[in-house]
Structure 1
Amino acid sequence: MLDISEKDSQGRVENSSKETTVQDVFVDDEDHAFRYKTLSWQFVSLLMIAEIVSNGMLSLPNAMAVVGIVPSLILTIFFGVFGLFTAKLLVDFKLNHPNVHNMGDAGDIMFGPVGREVLAFGTLIFSIFATGSELLSGQLALSELSNNGLCATFLLLIFSAATFVISLPRTLGRLSWLGLFSAFFITLCGILAMIGSGVDAVPGRKLNATATASFFDAFLAVTGPVFAYAGHFMFFILISEMTRPQDAMKAAWVLQVFATVFYAVFSVVVYAYLGSTVASPALLSLSPIWSKITFAVGIGNFLLSGALYSHVAAKLVFVRLFRGTPHIYSHTLMGWSVWTFLCFACTAVAFILATAVPVFSDFVGIAASLFASWYTYGIAGFFWLHDAYYLGKGWETLKRRWIGTTLAVLTILAGAFICVAGTYVSIKLIVEAYQSGMAGKPFTC
């Protein structure tokens, strides 16, 4: 068991040294106009799949082309299992601290006000960058489907406007059915991509079980498997709107098992048919007709995923401003005005970054390295150590449960390594892009 604390019948966390009364983020009252705690674990798993698998699978075949089939598969499976382990630590922390709504709240508990601001800011920044990444995927899909019939900036603006509209519902429960369709679309997109790669397989393709690469090229390739599961920063917000937060691990199991199996099968099949020439995203390596088909199916997922990221960024600020006030639960002019502005601002900033920064995808890599490396992996170790110490018997619990303590420390070190190495690789990519003149210009078609 990874759980540290025991709760009494009133939902309080108790131990021999202290007692803390906790209150859930959202109060569920039938008289409230907005009832947040409506998500079942099944729909949470679908929203997780829609968010994480969206762009996660598209770079994996290219990673396999760089490091080979065996290392890539090992990494994909390892990080799938590792992601499930850190999800367990995250869920336990949430259940022990029901008032936690986002990483900022968790940071406040563990590191005080400074930790709160740093982790909240990181969540906001990463959510906006992730929104921008989805906007670019949508723009790429529209460009492919229209044969570049319209300026890319205009297509990005059109897709951004649609993303903003879909992000507007105030509760995640209103987006849950869209999550079902989104998960279906990305799964179908992957299946069609595998079929398309088989129909138009590259003749004389070269396949490698293992491949030799420099540290830079190898780590650049393995960022695909590493960050393919980078969605844990959203889990606290999703769990906060569950009917039964105690079922959150069921959703995590569904997500990680599905993603790991799907990633492994997709990357092997596409790489086996396209060989070392496979691009990133992999859909661009398909024949024109199959590329159009897969982008046409995948665009629905890109749209909802972008809206979900924008919604999460807006929700973080909205709850921070109005927690405990009527604006959270009622139709007030102030509440709706601020909420609409926040959704618009988050999508607008993502649009501006995506079109104004020529090497935006590399900046997304920096954001992922700085924040997702911790939110998905490293910070989970701190969750375990904190609750083992404060909800247990201090150092005695850490020593007695030495296996858990060791795993927690190794998890923190893994997050630190991914953060440093990933940031180095991303910065080097940006420098090389500008030195080679491949960076392009902002606001151009």
Structure 2
Amino acid sequence: MYHDVDVFGHEEGHQIKYKTLSWQLVSILMIAEIVSNGMLSLPSSLAVVGIVPGLILIIFLGVFATYTSWLLVKFKLRHPEVHNMGDAGLILFGPFGRELLAFGTIVFAVFATGGQLLAGQIALGALSENKLCLMLYTGIFAIPTLLFSFPRTLDRLSWLSIPSVISIIIAGIIGMIGAGLHPTPDRSLSATKSSSFYLAFVSITNPVFAYAGHFMFFILVSEMKRPHDAMKAAYTLQGFATTFYAVFAVVVYVYIGDGVASPAFSSLETTWAKAAYGIAIPNFLIAGSLYAHTASKLLFVRIFRGSRHLHEHTVTGWTVWAILILIMNGAAFVLAVGVPIFNYLIGIAASLFASWYTYGIAGAFWLHDSYHDGDGVRTWRRKWGQTLLAAATFLAGGFICVAGTYVTVKGIADAYKSGSVGASFSC
């Protein structure tokens, strides 16, 4: 039944088969794209709000992201034809919803690719002590990111994701060991801290968006051999991410203190910083490739859905795929090196879109299906607990969207006022 209506259909006899992923490989892909440079900002969040509320927030958001993962997977299994957030938007809000959510997915994926290019730039700069122009580091990093995003199926990328996951785990451990062996003398630590709403929410956005990978979930599940096993992958991801985030944030903060930088590796002693950044490079590469692949795959499936170009090695299919990969990676590179406030723009994109994809819209999925598959409002009343939780999830996404956008825009204004914004395409 599922395979009769899903986006790739029955693939017997096709030259290119998409539905090849096991849940184990999907969990690896999920970890590779989510547990990446975002975790390096978590210790600095603890420095702003204190170790107790910061740790509680990291764990709570991990549990919350697990719940929204469950809602997304349920929606996907109920609607096998959904390949990406745009398709889900069509079901919820009609044609406008499709275009809006598809646009948001592409924008966020391209910006996230650019974010990984900047992470690579920082890593290469740390390794070489910034002896070259920073823009050159970004260009060097962009080339393998482009090449690794080129495979048509996620199965190929899943095997590349295994060393990616290993690299971020080892890099995190190296970072914690380096912090422990070279702690900051006379450091100050805070169990709790009072901060302004602006500073507190800026720090809160770090763990909020460290879990922001749900925009890829539909695409990942669409390429599974057994989509009904998707929650096994999601549980593996969220269990690992929540535990690793919590341990890494606390250990680094305890040894470095309130002066910890973001990214946290930059607070380590030079040798340990180089080791951590160097080992993390494969993760930054593959995460960026996955994001660029996602943006390209959404458009590619949209263009060729139901045609032979999707499943066969045609000149047209490969030409369009190559063009899409070049455009997405090229756009990410130009944004990363050409827009001085690009880090802030990533924050805006995350606030506008990832807040909904990771949190808010999952509530709308449950409300929609329970209404249309049941007795409408009477189903909501009968399942009032789930209804309230789904509604609260939707409202939480809205709050994160509005508040996150506000603090990011304020950050841009403050940066321009202080003169800290650099020039485009500069070293």
TM bucket (normalised to shorter chain) is over 0.9
Partners of 1:161 and 1:61 in 2: CA distance? 31
1:64 and 2:46 correspond: yes
1:201 and 2:183 correspond: yes
Structure-to-structure mapping, 1:43-442, within 5 angstroms: 43-442=25-424
Deviation at 1:149, TM superposition (A): 2.1
Partners of 1:50 and 1:176 in 2: CA distance? 9
SS at match of 1:276: coil
Partners of 2:43 and 2:393 in 1: CA distance? 27
1:307-356, Cα deviation, whole Å (9 max, x unpaired)? 00000000000000000001100111110011001001000000000111
Partners of 1:385 and 1:219 in 2: CA distance? 28
Unpaired runs of 5+ residues, structure 1, are: 1-9, 13-21
Deviation at 1:408, TM superposition (A): 0.7
- Give the share of equivalent positions with the same residue, in percent: 60
Contact 2:43 2:252 in 1 (8 A): yes
Partners of 2:130 and 2:270 in 1: CA distance? 13
SS at match of 2:152: coil
Deviation at 1:162, TM superposition (A): 1.1
Q: Which amino acid counterpart does residue 378 of structure 1 have in structure 2?
A: G
Partners of 2:255 and 2:414 in 1: CA distance? 31
TM-score under structure 2 length normalisation? 0.99
Q: What RMSD, in angstroms, separates the aligned Cα atoms of the two structures? A: 1.0
Contact 1:197 1:286 in 2 (8 A): yes
Q: Which amino acid counterpart does residue 279 of structure 1 have in structure 2?
A: A
TM-score under structure 1 length normalisation? 0.95
1:253-300, Cα deviation, whole Å (9 max, x unpaired)? 011111111111000100000001100000100111111000110000
Quick check: 392-401 or 411-420, which moved more? 392-401
Partners of 2:75 and 2:298 in 1: CA distance? 18
Partners of 2:156 and 2:55 in 1: CA distance? 37
Contact 1:102 1:236 in 2 (8 A): yes
Q: Which amino acid counterpart does residue 425 of structure 1 have in structure 2?
A: V
1:380-418, Cα deviation, whole Å (9 max, x unpaired)? 010000000111121221111111111111001100000
Partners of 2:316 and 2:2 in 1: CA distance? 33
Unpaired runs of 5+ residues, structure 2, are: none
Partners of 2:87 and 2:310 in 1: CA distance? 17
> Which structure carries more helix by proportion?
2
1:3 aligned partner: none
Deviation at 1:224, TM superposition (A): 1.1
Contact 1:28 1:36 in 2 (8 A): no
1:108-158, Cα deviation, whole Å (9 max, x unpaired)? 011100000000000000000000000000111111111212211111111
Deviation at 1:11, TM superposition (A): 4.7
Partners of 2:86 and 2:139 in 1: CA distance? 31
Partners of 1:371 and 1:29 in 2: CA distance? 33
Contact 2:2 2:80 in 1 (8 A): no
